[in-house]
Amino acid sequence: MAANDGVPEALQVLLSDELLSPSELFKERSRSHKIPVKGQKEFLPDGSDQQRARLQKSLDEHWTLVAEERVERLGNLVSAEWIPKEKLVKLLSPAGKFWQTMGFSDRGKQCLLPEEALYLMECGSVQVFYKDLPLSIQEGYECLLSPETMTLHQYQVFGHLKRLGYVVNRFDPRDMQSKQLKRKRSQSPGSRLCEKQSATTMEQTTVEGECKGEVQIREPDLGHVAPEQGTTQQTSQDKSMECVANSDGASARNWWTDMSGQAQAAAAQAAAPRWDFSCIVFPDLGSHRANSATLAAPDPSLLPGALEVGECKVAHWLRKLNLKKERLSRRDWERQRERDRYKRDINDDREVRRCRNWMEYLDLMEKRRSQQHKERPAHLWEQKVTPLTHPGQCISHRELLEQISIIPSCDLLEGASRLPWSDKWRICFNVYQPDTVAEFKKSHPGKPYTRLCVCSFDGPVPDLCVIKQLSILSGDVPVTFAVVDHGDISFYCFKEFKLPTDIY
């Protein structure tokens, strides 16, 4: 061959055996496109000739199909070029029918993603060149598939679905981001507090009032935050302080900032009470012993200015109080007697006094209790762990199930946005159904049928955390897991299901 003559030996080219001659290529134009049907399999090899013949026939068919090469009319092929730097394939001739569902325009040029180009190569629609030489399918797999573009497993799933007619494109988490931010904002307590505070001045005073006592926030929204004292409070406190600092009300601000200084110091650990109630005496004015009480003069240091206040005589105040002995109606009197009966000192009880030791006392208590609560056996109700309900307590199934449910049922997406993010699981593809192909628009694909996450049996099974994260990332589109195992692809999806609690 002329082209080879002047070439040094070391650089000689080794052409593949699988290249077809021009006459072979010409003949392939009228190749049959039918695939022979696989016959029924047999159970046991018996060494018979018929079996051997059938096997040979199957094998011959198999090798014919496997060895067949792709032969296409040059005019039907779309030419393209692989650009490794951009990891894209740029079309050199106009796109064909595939342009409706694949490819995109970049600066006026039609482009394909590597996996799309490889799939079209395998279909025989596109011929991709690299440095003026056409890529074989093998070279396509080697160049176009990589950890940066798409892995072999992902491409297998892509190809499998494309061959079935689905429209498959890459999932971009940025498409979902605007929705995600909204969700986050409404759930975070801190930012919500901010919003609330800057709303009205009325809100200021409520918060003000709360700060007078101990350093605790009693706002109902943050109810779940309050019990955890210390840093959580401090941060919300800080936030609210920041917010209030921006609003109107000079006097309120002074009060607030004074408190804040002390609050921060104290709130480092669990908020310690600032008031020592052992020194603060609340005078008893109502009991029969307080007939001639007088209130002591207050400490002058607590009074503003040079005010001085003497002793306070409370006699005339007491006259205003109704100190008459109560006269109860018969019913009230009986009710009070019942209450008093149980209020009596346990030591007044004759039966208790008869007990000589602790053991006897416990027996007495047990006897009384069992008489009182005949349906509640002691071994169930007197232990640390008691039953969740007792017979007759609930009327309907739903009530009963609610009573005894220890783990309340919750939605799949509950708490999902607060989960820590993991990199190992990603959503790879959006999948659209085949019957939508005719109206499919790349610019407005609409809501996908499902989104796919590709994994393999070698890796871990997705746990609830992963399922929650992927579900919330996917929005209202269900997530399907495509598991690739040595060429076999299985699809799994998890569906939320609430157990019925009643017949209605």
Partner 1 sequence: MDWTTTQLVGKSLPNGQDVKCRDRESAITKTDQGNAAKDRTIQISICGSTPLLWRSVDIKQSRDEVGVIGTLIGSLARQPRQNNRLGRPLEILKEEARLLLETGEATDVRHPDKSKKVSESGESHLNAVQLYQARLDRSYEEQCSLALEEKKAVLHRVMDEKQNSNEGPERAVRERLCSLEKSFSFPRSAMAVQLCTARAGFSHCPEELAFLAADWPEPRDKHSEARFRVYKDLRRKGFYLTAAGKFGGDYLVYPGDPLRFHAHFIALCMPMDESSPLSDILTIARLGSNVKKTVLLCSPRDPSDSQVEGDVVYSSLQWSGMV
CB atoms within 10 A of CB 446: 11
Q: Which residues contact 489 (CB under 8 A, 6 or more apart)?
A: 156, 157, 160, 482, 483
Instruction: Pick the closer one to partner 1 by CB: 38 or 325.
Output: 38
Is 121 one of the binding residues for partner 1 (CB under 8 A)?
yes
Shortest spacing between CB 27 and partner 1, in angstroms: 9
Whether residue 477 contacts residue 453, with contact meaning beta carbons closer than 8 Å, is answered with no
Instruction: Pick the closer one to partner 1 by CB: 153 or 468.
Output: 153
* Out of 50, 58, 271, 307, the residue judged to bind partner 1 by CB under 8 A: 58
- Scanning 255-263, 294-302, 351-359, 484-492 for contacts with partner 1 by CB under 8 A, the matching segment is 484-492
- What distance in Å separates the CA atoms of residue 119 and residue 163, rounded to the nearest whole number? 9
- What distance in Å separates the CA atoms of residue 394 and residue 400, rounded to the nearest whole number? 5
CA 316 to mean position of chain CA atoms:
67
- What distance in Å separates the CA atoms of residue 288 and residue 401, rounded to the nearest whole number? 53
- What distance in Å separates the CA atoms of residue 70 and residue 482, rounded to the nearest whole number? 29
* Out of 48, 49, 50, 67, the residue judged to bind partner 1 by CB under 8 A: 67
* Out of 334, 485, 496, 502, the residue judged to bind partner 1 by CB under 8 A: 485
- Scanning 116-124, 205-213, 371-379, 381-389 for contacts with partner 1 by CB under 8 A, the matching segment is 116-124
Site for partner 1 in 123-162 (CB under 8 A): 123-124, 127, 131-134, 136-139, 141-143, 145-147, 151-153, 156, 159-160
Whether residue 118 contacts residue 87, with contact meaning beta carbons closer than 8 Å, is answered with no
Is 72 one of the binding residues for partner 1 (CB under 8 A)?
yes
Is 460 one of the binding residues for partner 1 (CB under 8 A)?
no
* Out of 94, 107, 164, 174, the residue judged to bind partner 1 by CB under 8 A: 164
Q: Which residues contact 276 (CB under 8 A, 6 or more apart)?
A: none
- What distance in Å separates the CA atoms of residue 198 and residue 244, rounded to the nearest whole number? 7
Is 433 one of the binding residues for partner 1 (CB under 8 A)?
no
Shortest spacing between CB 93 and partner 1, in angstroms: 11
Instruction: Pick the closer one to partner 1 by CB: 143 or 222.
Output: 143
Phi/psi for 392 (5° steps) reads 90, -5
- Interface size with partner 1, residues (CB under 8 A): 90
Instruction: Pick the closer one to partner 1 by CB: 17 or 345.
Output: 17
Is 69 one of the binding residues for partner 1 (CB under 8 A)?
yes
Shortest spacing between CB 461 and partner 1, in angstroms: 13
- What distance in Å separates the CA atoms of residue 203 and residue 197, rounded to the nearest whole number? 6
Q: For residue 44, give the 3-state DSSP assignment.
A: coil
- Scanning 19-27, 214-222, 292-300, 340-348 for contacts with partner 1 by CB under 8 A, the matching segment is 19-27
Question: If residue 134 lies in a helix (H) or strand (E), which one and from where to where?
Answer: strand 133-134
Whether residue 312 contacts residue 293, with contact meaning beta carbons closer than 8 Å, is answered with no
Residue with tokens 């206040």: 309
Shortest spacing between CB 452 and partner 1, in angstroms: 16
Q: Which residues contact 242 (CB under 8 A, 6 or more apart)?
A: 194
Site for partner 1 in 24-43 (CB under 8 A): 24-26, 28-29, 31-33, 35, 38, 41-43
Is 9 one of the binding residues for partner 1 (CB under 8 A)?
yes
Is 190 one of the binding residues for partner 1 (CB under 8 A)?
no
* Out of 11, 346, 385, 438, the residue judged to bind partner 1 by CB under 8 A: 11
For β-strands 88-91 and 109-112, DSSP reports them as: antiparallel
Name the residue among 123, 125, 99 with its Cα closest to residue 112. Answer: 99
* Out of 14, 281, 406, 438, the residue judged to bind partner 1 by CB under 8 A: 14
Shortest spacing between CB 21 and partner 1, in angstroms: 5
Is 94 one of the binding residues for partner 1 (CB under 8 A)?
no
What is the 8-class DSSP label of residue 440? -
Is 50 one of the binding residues for partner 1 (CB under 8 A)?
no
Take residue 439 and report the two structure tokens written for it: 């109206």
Shortest spacing between CB 35 and partner 1, in angstroms: 6
Q: Which residues contact 409 (CB under 8 A, 6 or more apart)?
A: 498, 499
- Scanning 70-78, 242-250, 263-271, 385-393 for contacts with partner 1 by CB under 8 A, the matching segment is 70-78
Site for partner 1 in 337-396 (CB under 8 A): none
Whether residue 103 contacts residue 119, with contact meaning beta carbons closer than 8 Å, is answered with no
Is 18 one of the binding residues for partner 1 (CB under 8 A)?
yes
For β-strands 429-432 and 167-170, DSSP reports them as: antiparallel
Is 22 one of the binding residues for partner 1 (CB under 8 A)?
yes
Q: Which residues contact 451 (CB under 8 A, 6 or more apart)?
A: 171, 427, 429, 430, 431, 474, 477, 478, 479, 480
Is residue 474 left, alpha or beta, with left meaning phi > 0 and alpha meaning psi from -120 to 50? alpha
Is 227 one of the binding residues for partner 1 (CB under 8 A)?
no
Is 71 one of the binding residues for partner 1 (CB under 8 A)?
yes
* Out of 48, 49, 50, 66, the residue judged to bind partner 1 by CB under 8 A: 66
Instruction: Pick the closer one to partner 1 by CB: 99 or 141.
Output: 141
Shortest spacing between CB 462 and partner 1, in angstroms: 17
Shortest spacing between CB 143 and partner 1, in angstroms: 8
Take residue 256 and report the two structure tokens written for it: 């607030």
